[in-house]
Structure formats: structure tokens, C-alpha cells
Structure 1
Amino acid sequence: MRRVWVIAMLAGTLAGPVASTAGCAGNPPAAPEPAREEPAADWPAGLREAEIYGQVLSRFLTTPADNSFPERAFTTVYVLDQAHPGAGDPVGEHERGTPLAPNTQHRIVTALADVAPVAFITDPEAVIERRDGCPQVRDGGILITLGTVDGDDNQARVPINGFVACLGATWLTYVVRNEAGFGWRVTGTTGTRAIA
């Protein structure tokens, strides 16, 4: 056991002078590369959110059991340009929203081109009209409020609210998973669900 230690010590002693003489020959020793920490996923700005929101909106708009309007096609899907943490809870606190970046909005509109025409808006009142005291989205549209994406690069939860009229609204929270070879997919819901 002692011999192994002496040999290792001797090898370390010999390596020192060899390394120092290599620099004298005109080729300085290469500096070690600094250790780099790779991010969990290298997502371009807004791409992760756009992919997740695109899947959430597609699921919501094409699943009558989720949007509470069987076999109804919406003429326009108005989406607030801010994500609200409490979007999936009708009685929850409605905090100030987080703006969705223009490139995220553009990607969502493009991804949903085959599902429905999507328009991002800042003021929900701009698309609401009142008939017989009942607020409703104009021209047969739906107003959607997205929640903030809560999760990591593997799984996230996204609350959503869809409003059509005073007796036509839905609140729920989707679970979205990043599946190898497929990307982000809605796998179900979590928590409470409300329909008005």
C-alpha cells in the first residue's frame, strides 16, 4: 500500500517539471476552459411560453367539455395580452398581470391559425357589449385570460378563464408536460373547475 503512494507521489513530482518546460518551448500550456453550467433548456426568449400557451389554448378551444360550449366555433378568440396568476379561480385574488411579449403573442397566433383567429387585446372592456343587462363578447367571440406558467422545463400548470357571456364562463387549470419527441402537451387538469 505504501509503494502505491510513493509511485503516485513520484509521478506527480515528475509531471510538474515536464509541464513547466513545455511552456518554455514557445507553446504556453493551454489554459483550462472554465466550467460552464448549461441551462436546463436553451429556450429562445418567449418560445417556451408560446409553446405552452399554444397547447393550452388549442386544448381549451377544441374541447367542449372544457370551454362549456358544445360544438361551438368562436368567430374570434380575444386573449388578454397579460398573464394573470389567478385566472383559473373565479373568486381568487386577481393580481396585476405579467405582459406577454410581442414575439410570444405572434407565435401563439401562428400556432393557432388552423384552430381559430386569435387577437391579443389590452382592455377586456373593448370587446364586451351589454344586451339586456348581460355582458357578452361581441360578434360571437370568446375572451380568454391566461394564467402565468407555473413549473419547470418538464411540467407546468397554467390556469385559464374563458368568458362568452354572463352565463357562459369557465375557469380551470391545465397540466402541461414536455414529452420527449413530442414537445409540450396538455395531459389533464388539476384543482377546482368552475362553470357559470
Structure 2
Amino acid sequence: MVRRPAKQLSSICEFWVSFGSVAQLGEAEFTNMAWGLANSKQRFLRVIRPDSVSGSDPLELLPKEFIEEVGERGCIVKWAPQQEVLAHQSIGAFWTHNGWNSTLESICEGVPMICSPCSYYQPINVRYVTDVWKIGVMLDNRMDKEEIESTIKKVIADKGGNEMRQRSKSLQEKVNLSLK
């Protein structure tokens, strides 16, 4: 797994994963998330904050087998400029906690979402993303590695993902028109 300077990060991925600046995961959730990403066989960029796993250094939790499996397909960083990453043409989807800023940035850049709300108002944002705007899907068993794998494939490679991408681009155009 290669770590690159932030300016080069978004040129290598199809899938962006970031859970904001506050969300915390348990060790099992973190490991399942890693294996779901690896097993999806998609290229990804993932932000892993040093404080994102309760009581552990998350990078130490990544098994050697995960790093070998992912190889050059994955890039893990401590931080990246989210809106710049989302604006890059190679990003096909965004796995997010659906904080309001992340949700809006994804909409403004026309990127469909995989939704994993963590707290507070985020489930409400998810309902708009999935049920009203239909530009994302919810991970029901939030950190089940098989569901993560299939959901990533669904959003990146399936017909439903293409339809979400088209609706995301349409919503992006509407946002841009309203800003003008």
C-alpha cells in the first residue's frame, strides 16, 4: 500500500472513503471495513485518522494480509482535501458518515454515496440521499465485510450505480444553476 502526497492521491482511485473528523469505530468494525474494501477489488483512497479507532492506532490494526491483498489498489492517508478529491473525475463513489458537509460536498461534485451514519442528525441526511434524491445506498449491516464488498461493487460497477451517478450529476447541475 503506497502513501502519496495529497496532490497525487485522487488520481489513482475510484472510491473515496472518509468518516469525517469525529466518527469513531471499534476494532472489529475497522477490520471488517478494511476487508470489505479489499475484497471489492476496487481502487480506493481512504482517510484513516489516528484517533478513528477507540483505544488503538488504526494503522497497527491492518493485517499484513490486507496490505498484500490491496497492494497498489489502495491508498491510505491521515488526511486529504475532501472537496478536491470528490471533484476529481476518477471518483465513482464516496463512502461517508453523511455529516452535512460531506453530504453537500458529494452532491456539489455529483458523486453517489454509500451511507454509514454514525450519530446525531446523520440518519436524516441518509434518508434524503437514499429515499428522496436516490443518489446513494445505506449499509444496513454497517460493518459486515460481505455487505461492504457487495455494496461497493453495486455502486461502482452495477446498473443501479450508473443510475445513481446520473441522478447525482443531475442534482449537481441543479445545485450549480441555483448558485448562479
TM-score, L = length of structure 1: 0.31
More helix per residue: 2
TM-score, L = length of structure 2: 0.33
More strand per residue: 1
Greater radius of gyration (CA): 1
